[in-house]
Structure 1
Amino acid sequence: MNKAILFNFDVDKANKKIRVERSFDAPIDLVWAAWTEADILDQWWAPKPYRVETKSMDFREGGRWHYAMVSPENEKHWCIFDYETIQPEKQYAGIDAFCDENGVVNTSFPRTHWTNNFNAGQEDSTVVTCELQFKALEDLEALVKMGFKEGFTMGLQNLDQYISAQFYLRKQKKPDNRARVCSYVNFPGNTEEAFNFYRSIFKTEFVNGIQRLGEVPGQENLSEDVKKMVLHVELPLVGGHILMGTDAPKEMGFTLTQGNNMHISVEPATREEAARLFNELSEGGNVTMPLQDMFFGAYYGSLTDKFGINWMINHQNI
């Protein structure tokens, strides 16, 4: 996680384009997910102290991402991205726009066409190249004047942090494919306190101890308090049930609200059973991450069912 970061930002006024080239210390499937899944985009797309809230996302050709940039004062600036073409883990393109809460485009502002390319770099790194095409030179100049370079750079730095921490959390593996059900909980910074409380009640011990955020490569800029927070912890409860947990501190761009900080994690024995459970649970609900092969060796997806319950389906490809 110590590779030099490639970053080029070029303004081509003659062709009314901006070209951004940026490397990430992670394989393509990981980086692709971070650019195409709403729950991850919400964690990094906005420059701090702003944050992103996705209202809806339909990542397919002809689909749309509808989201708000939310200020510290909770003022929402609504945007959309209309997807035109998608080549999985290679490229996607579409047009952005400012809009209202209902997705009605604000024609007072120009739309920009984006083409995002994903290419494998050296040693499992990925290079993302974004090409922004404008209809008029004044549109390009207006975006630059608004601080696009500075804001986008901050967002990409957020993504560096997310890749090295949040995705690393999902690398925890069990030794075999026996089916099991676990509960996965997130806390804003007091996971250790909570799990010590649960340990005292259930009289069990942590599996493999407590791993901390400071152990993740690339987190040197975190405060000492955040470095001490919990990266991953597992505690057996009763009947073979495992409670898993992690800290999701606001200092790293996470926003926890009561109700979104707990998932039922189901680990089926086969891919077929994983697909069946995912498809049937998601009927009438909201898919937050499509079921797919992940870089950490799992067939994984997450959803909120029609009753508002959060689920993770996680089959380990062992």
Structure 2
Amino acid sequence: MKKSVLFDFIVDKENNKINVERSFDAPVDLVWAAWTEADILDRWWAPKPYQAVTKSLNFAEGGQWHYYMLSPEGEKHWCVFDYEVIRPLKFYGGSDAFCDENAVVNDSKPRVKWENGFTANDNQTVVNIQLQFETLEDLHAIIEMGFKEGFTAGLENLDQYIAAQFYLRQQNKPNNQPRVTTYVNFPGNTEEAFLFYKSVFKTEFSGKGIQRFGDIPAEAGHPAVAENIKKMVLHVELPLLGGHVLMGTDAPKEMGFTLTKGNNMHICLEPATREEAKRLFDELSNGGTITMPLQDMFFGAYFGEFSDKFGINWMINFQNTKQ
């Protein structure tokens, strides 16, 4: 049985601090990735219905994360995080401030010092967060902006994303047999599309059929999936011809996805070894555009994405099911 989620939020007015302690049902390396890689941060950092959008991220001492919060009305609220100290998989610290699109800090708004510590605790990771403000007035201003509610909602976004990814990995591809699939994303009509393809190819869905976001098991401490997302498709696989499999998912904007024609379809290669995954990635991406470097992802895969020099989108995904 998994532990319940730990969450403490303490306001220390005497020292102008906020202390947050939060646990996640994932190992340290995967939680660390979720806090330090732009593609994952963009999926959970902003409270719904806002979206976080990274302009640039250089996770290194002296580096910077420049991003904005996008409102449903299209307003952009720019922020910049300057990384000062990094101890891989254990700690990073720096300062966060409001700014403009050129990363010029807005001195009229509060600036915050962050210290984030990561500690393994059985099958969980505990993140200890300390926010230091220059003045009590700055602390009050952040609280009045709704920081506690917004940050809590963001952490719940991350819980949902972790739960969805691990659930998928447990349910699909039980071995390391190599295969090639096509992976497609839809803004909310995956079921309609796959029922159409099913009627054309006269085949049946593989595995457990259509899996929905609402099928993710509810666990103590995890936030419930939003009602308007529950019926959307989390994962579906359909054999086409000659053993080729079409895989798909809904990518709702409520979970931070932005789809455009051209970026919603990938050829997905699942090689048998990590070494072969790297070889395929390096050679196929040569001369192309890498959209996600090949790396160990927090959902347990060695994964990367790119467009090759001919404009074709690829995913490389190695999942070591023997561990």
TM-score interval for Structure 1 and Structure 2 normalised by the shorter chain: 0.7 to 0.9
SS of 1:84's partner is: strand
**Cα deviation digits, residues 279-299 of structure 1 (max 9, x gap):** 441766344354126553x32
Structure 2 contact 160–225 (Cα < 8 Å) conserved:
no
Report the alpha carbon displacement of residue 113 of structure 1 after superposing the two structures with TM: 1.6
On the 8 A contact 2:44/2:255 being kept in 1, the answer is no
Report the equivalent of 1:276. 279
Structure 1 residues 1-318: aligned runs within 5 Å: 3-122=3-122, 124-208=123-207, 209-218=209-218, 221-222=224-225, 226-280=229-283, 281=285, 285-288=289-292, 290-292=294-296, 296=300, 298-304=301-307, 309-317=312-320, 318=322
1:100 to 1:171, Cα distance in 2 relative to 1, 3 A = farther
Structure 1 gaps of 5+ residues are none
TM-score normalised by length of structure 1: 0.86
Q: TM-score, normalised by structure 2?
A: 0.85
Segments ≥4 residues shifted beyond 6 Å:
none
Q: Percent identity?
A: 68
Does structure 2 conserve the Cα–Cα contact (< 8 Å) formed by 1:185 and 1:246? yes
Q: Describe the SS at the equivalent of 1:226.
A: helix
Distance 1:69 1:199, change over 3 A: same
For residues 195 and 5 of structure 1, the distance between their equivalents in structure 2, rounded to whole angstroms, comes to 36
What is the number of equivalent residue pairs in this alignment?
316
Distance 2:55 2:223 in 1: 33
Partner of 1:26, secondary structure, is coil
Q: Is the 8 A contact 2:66 2:81 kept in 1?
A: yes
Which amino acid in 2 is paired with 1:206?
A: F
Output one character per residue of 1:122-158: Cα deviation in whole Å (capped at 9) or x when no partner. 4x22221111122333322222222211211121122
Inter-partner Cα distance in structure 2 for 1:175 and 1:221: 27
Seen in structure 2, the aligned counterparts of structure 1 residues 72 and 89 have a Cα distance that, compared at 3 Å, is: same
Paired residues of 2:159 and 2:223 also in contact (CA < 8 A): no
1:300 Cα deviation (Å)?
Answer: 2.2
Q: Distance in 1 between matches of 2:224 and 2:156?
A: 11
Deviation by residue 1:209-264 (Cα, 9 ceiling, x = unmatched): 22222221138834666333322111122333221111233444544333333222
Secondary structure of the residue that 2:14 maps to in structure 1? coil
Native 8 Å contact 2:269 2:316 kept in 1: yes
CA RMSD of aligned residues (A): 2.7
- Give the 3 Å change call, closer, same or farther, for CA 178–72 of structure 1 in structure 2: same
Contact kept, 8 Å, 1:47 with 1:151, in 2: the verdict is yes
Structure 1 residue 182 displacement after superposition: 1.6
